[in-house]
Structure 1
Amino acid sequence: MFQSLLRFLKIDRFTFLLVVAVLVATVFPASGRGMPVAQMVTSLAIALLFFLHGARLSRDAIIAGATHWRLHLLIFSFTFILFPVLGVMSRPILEPLFTPDLYKGVLYLCVLPATVQSAIAFTSVARGNIPAAICSASSSSILGIFITPMLVSLLITDGVATSDSQLALEAIWEITQQLLIPFALGHFSRPFTAGFISRHGFLMRFVDQGSILLVVYVAFSAAVNEGLWSQTPLVALLLLVLVSVVLLVIVLLLTALIGKLMGFSLEDRITLVFCGSKKSLASGLPMAQVLFAGQAVGAIVLPLMIFHQIQLMVCAFIAARLSGRKEEVELLEEIGEGAVISPVVK
């Protein structure tokens, strides 16, 4: 009966579980001693995900993904050029509607690097070019440690602190130990594990989707604990949600359309959509503490917190739709041709 209800509502099981994760995080957020435990479990799940990816991918596939320079250059252009341009162009509209700190937060959101874990996990669920996603998302996060402070100093000049080299080293080490080391260990384990993984495809699906659900729950818990639903007026919150949706839809449309116009394969277009449209909460929050020391950091990072939740919800829905080969072709064609986006942002 439950499955019949989901089919009647045209909601797949994963999307339903995603909504449940958001509701649980809103009502019962991880906090106090529970938050470190939830973060540790999420980190372990992500490490397992990358271990399995490393074990599943051949050496040729990894080399091909790392050397796909046209795709990486396009993804970086969306992350560090298109997003900031959209943020600056929106100034005449947004500045009168928001407080100075909230608009500063919108600009800050636009200059951040892409996410790593969720971009790769969504690409995996959607059956995109996983090696290229790993290379692009990891590189974006590392480059952002240096590019984001430069863009902040260029676009947001009032009282921005100098970036901390210690922050950069810590971020690089965190990416290395959580993502690259498990991936390398998994790849070197291929002679022993590749056969088992190929015979148990359900394991990859379980880890892919389970890691996304954990990321969503922990991210929403942190946002709720920071006062996501209470620290700004309802009207400002609704405006931020609207701006985030519009910004994300514009980038999703452009990534799908330009990927199609440039003749990328379906797998590459999926990678472009998921890696080119993301902004990193994990990188953005600690960097904000340094870049905006002594300022209203809470208000500045609020647009990022809201955009992060929306991108997880929307992209998880798209990834679920793309996981079926027949549906994914139809959906990318719809997005690339600029069709009505309401089914995507359902």
Structure 2
Amino acid sequence: MFRSILSFFEPFILMLLGTVLLASLIPARGIWAGIAGDAADVGIVLLFFLHGAKLSREAIWEGARNWRLHVAVLATTFVVFPLLGLLAGRTPGLAGPVATGMLFLTLLPSTVQSSIAFTAIARGNVAAAVCSASFSNLIGIVATPALVALLIGSGEGGGGISLAAVESIVAQLLVPFVAGHLLRPWIGGWIARRKRLLTIVDRGSILLVVYTAFGAAVVEGLWHRVSPADLLLIGVLCAVLLAVVLTVTWFAGRALGFSREDAIVLLFCGSKKSLASGVPMAGVLFPAATVGAVLLPVMLFHQLQLIACAVIARRYADAASLAEAEAVSL
């Protein structure tokens, strides 16, 4: 059992934890903090540029046909999750930037890579998963900052939406994404043949932002404000949040009359939150001194969702294999 749990801690999770440890022990200070911050900004711009170039217009039009499924995924991501986040953020003993982080977690779009991967393992509708996850991330560029402004505003730990924040979002996220998509006819094939490049930029930019964010938070006294008991409380809240959403999406798929394949898409795309989108958005939307604390719930939830969804996907795959074997024997 212990080894099976460890198998879900992919190398990136270990790298993420190592980056947090490095930022805690050797945070960037002075001129080095500025250099690290600029490098992180460049990485985020490149990341969204490559993601824009990767998303095909054919996938957008094809996905639009299965509108009931996509509406259900988006409703879970941007309505059900935020409502649960409002409750979680008011948990006794949780306050300040960490409480803001719990709510911010629920405002993020769905993941792309892991949602599609788990849908494929579970024998679900992979094409629909690609579209739902892509739509969620595309809409999230606008929806997440808007929800932050509406539900978090400029309260404690909140950044709100100022003119500077809007400009940063447009410059760092939206413009590179649109530029990459417009250049897709010329560079899309080249990028598709270099998946490793996208992976390196994807993970490298996240690690850079996490290092700079946690480094700034450590310099401001993060680990003096967040105790082991706080970390345990955040972990419990993330686990409960994930369990509730998985249950809601499981029942919703059946209540809405979705096929098994589409219900799997709703289960995996609707229950996920994107670390890849959350890290750069937090850096834009929140003060530098609070970003590290705000990201704690996002990082813990990310790890829990990978473990839980890997187990669920394997169970679906085993059930499908068993059904196929019984059909052959008949």
Candidates 89, 94, 100, aligned match of 1:98: 94
Partner of 2:147: 147
Provide the secondary structure at the position in 2 that maps to 1:28. helix
The answer to whether residue 84 in structure 2 is matched with residue 86 in structure 1 is: yes
Do the aligned partners of residues 63 and 91 (structure 1) sit closer, same or farther apart at CA in structure 2, a change above 3 Å counting?
closer
The answer to whether residue 42 in structure 2 is matched with residue 40 in structure 1 is: yes
Contact 1:26–1:224 (CA under 8 A) maintained in structure 2? yes
Contact 2:59–2:131 (CA under 8 A) maintained in structure 1? yes
Partner of 2:104: 109
Structure 2: distance between partners of 1:303 and 1:331: 39
Do the aligned partners of residues 253 and 43 (structure 1) sit closer, same or farther apart at CA in structure 2, a change above 3 Å counting?
farther
- Aligned ranges 1:223-238 → 2 under 5 Å: 223-225=213-215, 226-227=217-218, 228-238=222-232
Contact 1:79–1:114 (CA under 8 A) maintained in structure 2? yes
Q: Deviations over 1:7-29 (max 9, x none)?
A: x9347888441233124313434
Per-residue deviation, 1:187? 4.4
Tell me the amino acid that sits aligned with residue 136 of structure 1: S
The answer to whether residue 115 in structure 2 is matched with residue 123 in structure 1 is: yes
The answer to whether residue 261 in structure 2 is matched with residue 266 in structure 1 is: yes
The answer to whether residue 309 in structure 2 is matched with residue 313 in structure 1 is: no
Per-residue deviation, 1:149? 1.9
Partner of 2:317: 330
Partner of 1:181: 179
Partner of 1:217: 207
Tell me the amino acid that sits aligned with residue 48 of structure 1: L
TM-score by length of 1: 0.65
Provide the secondary structure at the position in 2 that maps to 1:9. helix
Contact 1:123–1:274 (CA under 8 A) maintained in structure 2? yes
Contact 2:239–2:304 (CA under 8 A) maintained in structure 1? no
Per-residue deviation, 1:63? 0.4
Do the aligned partners of residues 229 and 64 (structure 1) sit closer, same or farther apart at CA in structure 2, a change above 3 Å counting?
farther
Structure 1: distance between partners of 2:180 and 2:263: 24
Per-residue deviation, 1:318? 6.2
Structure 1: distance between partners of 2:21 and 2:160: 38
The answer to whether residue 244 in structure 2 is matched with residue 250 in structure 1 is: yes
Number of aligned residue pairs: 296
Structure 1 unmatched runs, 5+: 1-7, 290-296, 334-346
Contact 1:80–1:112 (CA under 8 A) maintained in structure 2? yes
Tell me the amino acid that sits aligned with residue 120 of structure 1: V
TM-score by length of 2: 0.68
Partner of 2:123: none
Do the aligned partners of residues 66 and 13 (structure 1) sit closer, same or farther apart at CA in structure 2, a change above 3 Å counting?
same
Per-residue deviation, 1:64? 1.9
Contact 1:79–1:112 (CA under 8 A) maintained in structure 2? yes
Structure 1: distance between partners of 2:176 and 2:76: 25
Q: Deviations over 1:47-100 (max 9, x none)?
A: 33543x33xx4x4432022454323432332233323332444577x22x234x
Q: Deviations over 1:176-206 (max 9, x none)?
A: 233332234224556xx38x95xx6xx43x3
Per-residue deviation, 1:160? 8.1
Provide the secondary structure at the position in 1 that maps to 2:225. coil
Candidates 13, 22, 31, aligned match of 1:28: 22
Per-residue deviation, 1:139? 0.8
Per-residue deviation, 1:171? 1.5
Do the aligned partners of residues 188 and 87 (structure 1) sit closer, same or farther apart at CA in structure 2, a change above 3 Å counting?
same
Contact 1:65–1:132 (CA under 8 A) maintained in structure 2? yes
Do the aligned partners of residues 247 and 167 (structure 1) sit closer, same or farther apart at CA in structure 2, a change above 3 Å counting?
same
Contact 1:113–1:144 (CA under 8 A) maintained in structure 2? yes
Partner of 2:168: 170
Structure 2: distance between partners of 1:159 and 1:220: 17
Do the aligned partners of residues 332 and 132 (structure 1) sit closer, same or farther apart at CA in structure 2, a change above 3 Å counting?
farther
Contact 2:250–2:263 (CA under 8 A) maintained in structure 1? no
Partner of 1:342: none
The answer to whether residue 131 in structure 2 is matched with residue 134 in structure 1 is: no
Do the aligned partners of residues 61 and 45 (structure 1) sit closer, same or farther apart at CA in structure 2, a change above 3 Å counting?
closer
Partner of 1:304: 294
